[in-house]
Structure 1
Amino acid sequence: MPYILLFLLALISAPLHAVTIPGVTSTTSDTTASEPDAAQKKAAYSALADVLENDASRKELIEQLRHAAATPPPEAAPTLTPPDVKEEKTVLENVTDITRHYGGEFSTRFAQLWRNISTAPHKPFHTATFFNAVTHFLMLAALVFAFYGLVRLCALPLYRKMGRWGRHKNRDRSNWLQLPAMITGALIIDLLLLALTLFIGQLLSDNLNGGNSTIAFQQSLFLNAFALIEFFKALLRLIFCPRVPDLRPFAITDQTAHYWNLRLSALSSLIGYGLVVAVPIISNQVNVQAGAMANVVIMLTITLWALYLIFHNKKAITDGLLQVADRSLAFFSLFIRAFALVWHWLASAYFIVLFFFSLFDPGNSLKFMMGASVKSLAIMGIAAFISGILSRWIAKTITLSPETQRNYPELQKRLNGWLSGALKTARTLVVCVAVMLLLSAWGLFDFWSWLHQGTGEKTVDVLIRIALILFFSAVGWTVLASLIENRLASDIHGRPLPSARTRTLLTLFRNALAVVISTITVMILLSEIGVNIAPLLAGAGALGLAISFGAQTLVKDIITGVFIQFENGMNTGDLVTIGPLTGTVERMSIRSVGVRQDTGAYHIIPWSSITTFANFVRGIGSVVANYDVDRHEETEKANQALKDAVDELMQMEDIRGLIIGEPSFAGIVGLTNTAFTLRVTFTTLPLKQWSVRFALDSMVKKHFDLAGVRPPVQTYQVLPAPANTAPPDAGLPPAEPTL
């Protein structure tokens, strides 16, 4: 029975070998079993029916099928694929590859040019066709030039009126935008006239070509060249404006404007009509060799003439640029001076590149150079306009109301500083974007592709994150610092200034806050630009530990000073005694206190060296006055004289205001062989005890003299020598009398 089941399974699974899984390549060998015939299939079906009919065999078949289904398929052996090995080249190899690539390109282009000149097939020259096409071409050109000159001549009075009005408004300085608006309006009118002329030219071309494709082709070449060249001439008129000096945006003399407008217009006409019109017509009507030779001659002439104009006028243009730099803002002056040093090399490179491009690709070289030039002028103009607006905003300042300035003394300065920094950063970004767009305009850098790729997107994302971090840090610091400064300042309602202790603590807190915000901001910025700050934090911790061991005294100074400030131990202006020094506190920092003695000496005392100190300005002052009286004087008389002196003192208004309460008489507080001591005490305002004591001493002296109260007298008793001894110097007084 098992053999019959295996035979049946083989027959059932045989068709499955022919099934292929999509995407998986199946391999078959030559020894694969062939398809069973009809007799074998019938025998198998009959055996299967017998098996299913028997309960025991059917159960055994089911168990075998379940066992086959539960058995996992054999695992395929993993395939190890070695990683791709990238060949890393050195800098010299990269430079060599780039040089070889561009050298091969140049050699290929020159070879193609030489083949065009030497081996290009000749075409038959049809004189009648050529002159017929030239006649229609010249007719269209004459009509187009006549119409364009006529409409521009009709618009000339409008240009002059616009120039006078804009210049008058500019002199009055009523609105600085009106003159630039008139200059831009003149350019727009000029371009509209050009568009009208092209429309008329296209209508004339449709009526003058006579259905001839050659004539239509030549006339289309002319209209394309006319549009390109006249657009460039419109830009030249925008810069030089030889006929309407009032619309001239730069301070250029009429002679200089006519000189450069004439020569640059002629140069552009020669380039445009030579490359776009003459060379294709000669190549089509005569032959390719003549067209290639004409192209070389035209471009060589243009290049040599352009180089002559550049170096012939180098000094004059450089001096003019330096004069413009002297009259410009500092930001633009730097760029203009840099441009004045290299402008002739840039202009020479421009015409040399145009020369080679025109040799290799006469049809597209001029379009590319003109397009790149127009894009460059537009980019530089827009960048200069935006930078000029930002520079004007930088020069302006925000002025807050007097009430706000009094409540927040540093807020106006801080806002102007943040605004100036933000505008300068924006101006720098404008310059960077303008440089990248200029490189993109000349095909040296694909700005838009870079902006939409990973590097550009990441750079922009990082810049936005940095800007947001700096913005929120600046806002947080400005708000917190302004609140602290508001607490340190007096308000408009005459709120008194805070105490010296409060000022010191708030100043320390502001400085600590500045350090914390700056540190956190720098760490976040470093993390955003991809710097791993974990080693920096670990290094800072180790460095802080080392510094803490080496600067224990400094840490002790700081901690002691903070606690003394919190306990309100002393403030600026207090009279204190610190150790042997007594003086006025002039300065308190986080590390030390500065004390000025009455002799003028200034002492800097570290907080950690202060163990005890006395402050004479805490609450009240006290005067304890002791006066010695001769022992033989009457006690009542001396007490009465002292009371009279105190009564007169209390009647003095300026002194009475310094005394708190009433004086206290203690009577006799001391007794010696020669004197007894009387005491009177006063409670005074802080730091006023000396004023009261000086006034009291004057009154006591006055009343003691009036009452005849004598101070103690020092007496001496001289004892004679014994009678039985007669010293040699008995006639002289003793050198040291005995008391």
Structure 2
Amino acid sequence: MLLNPFRGGLYGLLTAVLALALIAGPALAGASDDGGGQSEAQRLADILEDDEARERLISELRGAAGDAGEAPEPADDGEAASLPRQVADFTQGIAEGFVSEFREAGAVLGGIRFDETGAGLAALGPVALELGLVIVAAIAAFLVLRRLARPLFARASAWAQSGAQTGGMGLLRRAVAVIGAAIVDLIVIVLAYLVGYALALFVLGEPGAMDMRQALFLNAFLLIEVFKALIRIIFASRDDGLRLLPMQAEEAAYWNLWLARLAGFIGYGLMVVVPIINADLAVELGRVVAVLIMAAAFLYALSIIMQNRQRVRERLEERASAAEMAFTRTLLQMLGRSWHLFAIAYFAALALATLVRPEDALPFMVQATVQTLVAAGGGLFLSVLLTQVIGRRIHVPAETRVRFPSLEERLNAFVPTTLKIVRGVILVTVLALVLDAWAIFDLGAWLASEAGAGTLATAVTVALILAFAVAVWIGVASWIEQRLNPDARGTEPGAREKTLLAIFRNAFAIILITMTAMIVLSEIGINIGPLIAGAGVLGLAVGFGAQKLVQDVITGVFIQLENAINTGDFVTAGGMSGTVEKLTIRSMGLRDLAGTYHMVPFSSVDAVSNFMRDYGYHLGDYEVAYREDTDQVIEHLQNAFDELMQDEEQSKVILGDLEVFGVTAFNDSSVGVRVRIKTVPGMQWAVGRAYNRLVKRHLDAADIEIPYPHMTLYFGQEKDGSAPPAQVRMLDGSRREKPVQDAGSGATGKPAGDRQPGAKPTDDGENE
């Protein structure tokens, strides 16, 4: 077999050292000073421990082997070969091994005598005939059984397609159908294998004995057909319902046929042909045949990959454009651009592993490939299943929805985050299984180690802690929601209860997040003692540096404890008036009548005027002229209130009769009459507007004057009591002069030309 050059050289060196030790043992014993009973193995160990003796021994071995040239100088202590040098030595060793293998194979072929070869081939005739019978029996049994199982595959495909429109259940149906078809396919392969095994064991040759060649074929048949069954699971060219990859039947048949041919060529070539050549002809010739098989397989695979490079890329890009998730879209786009590189790298690794490790390369590659496909397929299946099952909205019963209106939305809010976490766990698991399959990472050893077990236990514990915290939050938030829901409790919660529960919900969320973060950090191995101490120092610094913030919090706590402000109240605080929309532990949000939102910190609140406590009053001051009878005015105010009480909407919010305070003020031009109407809190303004409308209508109907500012023009007066004429000019398209009646005497004014004595001319020659 073609061994690793480094490993072969090491084995040769150790063999030569042991041989030399056995040959030179007596001489070394005679030359030894202490000579008493020391074994050759001990002396050899002493030589290997001594640097100079070891180097001298290596030089002697090279000379004995006829190695041309001087022995290489030893490398300096602590100096290691660079990576390029190691790669160069490795490739040089492989190339030299290839040349040596071909030379040996040529020598073997050249030394074959045709007369002896013919006799040997004649002796192998019966053996070949029996091997051919086993091959024909196994393949025929496989084809017949596959034919008989064909209706089962068709039914499974139809059953899977019939549930394709049922969401997550449809995916489960397809999974069950694919698994069932795979089991049937494996049963067919095992039965065909048993047919060939029984024929070779009990019919051909000696009963109970099997020829080595027949055993090689049957083992290869079982392994290769199982691998082909896995390919059929992925592509399923004849059954659309069992096909895992989304592609047309013609394209699936193409890839299925190509991969099956390649698997059969490599598998039967390396597992049957090469071992038979090694046993019957020469090992060197078998190595050359293995190299030729892998070279032909690699070239064939390379040609197929390059022929379909663009077509597969277009298919993947079409799938990427139709994908809903950004991660899936990006992954498909990257795979479309570089899928051929991965395929070429895979077949190149297969060829290289076969050349470097011929004894176990093919089983290793088959096992790694199967594990990779199973891991990737299982991860994809779980991800799609969870997306279809958990991705759908969670629906709660109608009774529960009445008691907890936001519970359904709250549960559905955690679904996207949960899916992302689960997909991440699935991705990490798939990557670990793939790396383990290719011997890059030993998953089993890591899980058995203390670090692996501890990491897994920590991950499970952290997941349980987070799940418990989420469950606690959902429970507390749902309880608060029930307390605030009038349909669930039967009565409307008070404003104080609403405010306190809202603040409690925010405070509980902060406490829960902080405690969960601390517990998680402690669980993953981070010492939270310094964090707590640092938080205490930081809190002290913040307390000194942010006194305003501390004042906000302390004032807010006392305001809430004294029930001074609740959400929905109309208040005046900090120079602002408006409806309270939001309350936190340090500030409140006010919305004024103009719609402007004000954020008022509690430190700026010196006094709070709350218009929404228990009840409210519409306080009305109505002013009438001095000439009006105030008793009559009060009577009309009462009539307006009686009419207001006839309005059902208004009467519901009025809590008592009209309170009349009587005459309260003598103003410059009016007399003030005050009344008051008691209402439910917050309705005093609406009731006042409705009452003012009725008061205006009643006073106007009674011809009671509601005074407003008047202006009197005085034109002067003569000593005899007569008034001078007032000259007024009216402009209506043309300049006209019209005398008006004197406001003081009632006499008609004279024309401007008859100026009275004592009248003073104005600047423009007219009287004032």
Q: What is the TM-score normalised by the length of structure 1?
A: 0.74
**Aligned-partner Cα distance in 2 for 1:274–1:632:** 127
Q: What is the Cα deviation at residue 452 of structure 1?
A: 0.8
1:118 aligns to what? Answer: 103
Contact 1:658 1:684 in 2 (8 A): yes
Q: What is the Cα deviation at residue 100 of structure 1?
A: 6.4
**Aligned-partner Cα distance in 2 for 1:520–1:530:** 16
Q: What is the Cα deviation at residue 542 of structure 1?
A: 3.4
Q: What is the Cα deviation at residue 432 of structure 1?
A: 1.0
- The DSSP-based 3-state class of the residue aligned with 1:619 is coil
Mean Cα deviation higher: 418-427 or 477-486: 418-427
TM-aligned CA distance change 1:610 to 1:716, over 3 Å: farther
- Give the 5 Å matches for 1:222-241: 222-241=217-236
Contact 1:582 1:597 in 2 (8 A): yes
Amino acid at match of 1:435: L
- Give the 5 Å matches for 1:289-688: 289-326=284-321, 330=325, 332-492=328-488, 494-496=490-492, 498-578=493-573, 583-595=578-590, 598=593, 603-622=598-617, 638-639=630-631, 641-643=633-635, 645-646=637-638, 649-650=641-642, 652-653=644-645, 654=647, 660-663=655-658, 683-686=678-681, 687-688=683-684
Amino acid at match of 1:487: R
Contact 1:592 1:607 in 2 (8 A): yes
TM-aligned CA distance change 1:187 to 1:131, over 3 Å: farther
**Aligned-partner Cα distance in 1 for 2:163–2:94:** 59
TM-aligned CA distance change 1:107 to 1:451, over 3 Å: farther
* 1:64-103 deviation line (CA, Å, top 9, x unaligned): xxxxxxxxxxxxxxxxxxxxxxxxxxxxx99957776676
2:157 aligns to what? Answer: 166
**Aligned-partner Cα distance in 1 for 2:290–2:355:** 7
**Aligned-partner Cα distance in 2 for 1:298–1:602:** 80
Contact 1:303 1:355 in 2 (8 A): yes
1:129 aligns to what? Answer: 120
Q: What is the Cα deviation at residue 462 of structure 1?
A: 1.2
**Aligned-partner Cα distance in 2 for 1:222–1:468:** 52
Q: What is the Cα deviation at residue 658 of structure 1?
A: 5.9
TM-aligned CA distance change 1:643 to 1:209, over 3 Å: closer
* 1:240-267 deviation line (CA, Å, top 9, x unaligned): 4445566544444454344333333332
- Give the 5 Å matches for 1:19-418: 114-119=99-104, 126-149=117-140, 151-153=142-144, 155-156=146-147, 158-160=149-151, 162-163=153-154, 166-167=157-158, 170-171=161-162, 173=164, 176=170, 177-206=172-201, 210=205, 216-242=211-237, 247-326=242-321, 330=325, 332-418=328-414
**Aligned-partner Cα distance in 2 for 1:196–1:624:** 101
**Aligned-partner Cα distance in 2 for 1:398–1:260:** 41
**Aligned-partner Cα distance in 2 for 1:443–1:402:** 54
**Aligned-partner Cα distance in 1 for 2:672–2:292:** 126
**Aligned-partner Cα distance in 1 for 2:372–2:344:** 16
TM-aligned CA distance change 1:669 to 1:231, over 3 Å: closer
Q: What is the Cα deviation at residue 411 of structure 1?
A: 1.8
The number of aligned residues is 633
**Aligned-partner Cα distance in 2 for 1:625–1:254:** 87
Q: What is the Cα deviation at residue 704 of structure 1?
A: 6.5
- The DSSP-based 3-state class of the residue aligned with 2:609 is strand
**Aligned-partner Cα distance in 2 for 1:659–1:364:** 96
* 1:432-481 deviation line (CA, Å, top 9, x unaligned): 11211111111111100000102101111210121121122112211112
Q: Pick from 688, 692, 697 the counterpart of residue 690 of structure 1.
A: 688
Cα-Cα RMSD: 4.2
TM-aligned CA distance change 1:263 to 1:139, over 3 Å: farther
Mean Cα deviation higher: 504-513 or 456-465: 504-513
TM-aligned CA distance change 1:705 to 1:530, over 3 Å: same
- The DSSP-based 3-state class of the residue aligned with 1:398 is coil
TM-aligned CA distance change 1:141 to 1:548, over 3 Å: farther
TM-aligned CA distance change 1:293 to 1:612, over 3 Å: closer
Identity of aligned residues (%): 34
- The DSSP-based 3-state class of the residue aligned with 1:480 is helix
Contact 1:358 1:366 in 2 (8 A): yes
TM-aligned CA distance change 1:206 to 1:495, over 3 Å: same
Any unmatched runs of 5+ in structure 1? 1-92, 724-728, 734-739
Contact 2:141 2:192 in 1 (8 A): no
Q: What is the Cα deviation at residue 587 of structure 1?
A: 4.7
Any unmatched runs of 5+ in structure 2? 1-77, 721-756, 762-768
TM-aligned CA distance change 1:137 to 1:342, over 3 Å: farther
- The DSSP-based 3-state class of the residue aligned with 1:445 is coil
Mean Cα deviation higher: 103-112 or 520-529: 103-112
